[in-house]
Amino acid sequence: MKEETLSYEDFKSDLSSKYIGRNVYYFDSIDSTNTKAKKLASKGVSEGTVVISEEQTAGRGRLGRSWISPKHKGLWMSIILRPNIDPINAVKITQIVAAAIHRSINKLGIKSLIKWPNDIVLNNKKVCGILTEMSAELNRISYLVIGIGINVNLDEDEIPNDIRSIATSLKIESKNAIDRKGLLCSILDNFEILYDEFLEDCNMDTTLNICRENSAILGKEIQVIKKDSCLCAKAIDITNDGRLLVEYKDGSKEYLISEEVSVRGLMGYI
């Protein structure tokens, strides 16, 4: 059977967006869509340009970690953005992307949760990771590259042993093969709606509602992992500017920004 592919020709008629995903660089195989997107962004490609590949040979996570991306099994893509906002607000865009992905997965009848700041989880396992990279001057973003990795149709044996306890796919959890093209278009469309809402008047209400109502960590005991420490805390709220408010055992509170920390569940997932 011929594999369904994700070139622009393949999905353009199903896409409703105006500019997100209307300029597409499509690859059968590439090292990392984020690496390619950064090169394209520095050459000046337009906002909303998407780099997508059927597989990545050197997919990247945060802090130099790797991201497995087998051929035809997932959505491995990067969106190039040029928002006219202070670099400190870039974390908000990650939340907007997470909300859009959550909405699209939900539309499939699959109940995912958002694990602040950059994961979507199902059954306490990671099904999607987001990698936001930025080029900026002091108070102006030159470009943002939002890398999105979603495990769509991976079977259990396609997930390496060492991450099988923390990673899953939409197919494994729903027991159905998922239409990657439909999911791709839905994510690009949903993202444009929420992103435009934000650009218009910095309104993140819809995004914040989605992130709060479907949070994997709010109200729960979590671990805040920093460079040299790991502290237990309770996740209290996601603030209007996308930060996570936590309360430590001694009663002190802290607002976390995604770049500074990772947050892990005590129950063993990611």
Residues that bind ligand BT5 (CB under 6 A): 32-34, 56, 59-63, 65, 67-69, 76-78, 118-119, 126, 129-131, 147-149, 151, 163, 167
What is the enclosing helix (H) or strand (E) of 40? helix 33-42
The nearest distance, CB 250 to ligand BT5, in angstroms, is 28
In angstroms, the CA 207 to CA 187 distance is 14
Structure tokens at 41: 């962004």
The nearest distance, CB 134 to ligand BT5, in angstroms, is 14
The nearest distance, CB 238 to ligand BT5, in angstroms, is 18
The nearest distance, CB 233 to ligand BT5, in angstroms, is 19
In angstroms, the CA 158 to CA 166 distance is 14
Q: Kindly tell me which of 65 and 111 has the beta carbon lying closer to ligand BT5.
A: 65
Q: Kindly tell me which of 167 and 246 has the beta carbon lying closer to ligand BT5.
A: 167
Specify burial of residue 227 (Cβ count, 10 A radius: 0-12, 13-18, 19+).
exposed
Q: What is the number of the residue whose Cβ is closest to ligand BT5?
A: 129
The nearest distance, CB 35 to ligand BT5, in angstroms, is 6
| Per-residue exposure over 6-24, b if at least 16 CB sit within 10 Å of its own CB, e if not | beeeebeeebebeebbbbb
Q: Kindly tell me which of 163 and 202 has the beta carbon lying closer to ligand BT5.
A: 163
Q: Kindly tell me which of 80 and 218 has the beta carbon lying closer to ligand BT5.
A: 80
Chain centroid offset of residue 196 CA: 18
Q: Kindly tell me which of 207 and 258 has the beta carbon lying closer to ligand BT5.
A: 258
In angstroms, the CA 244 to CA 253 distance is 10
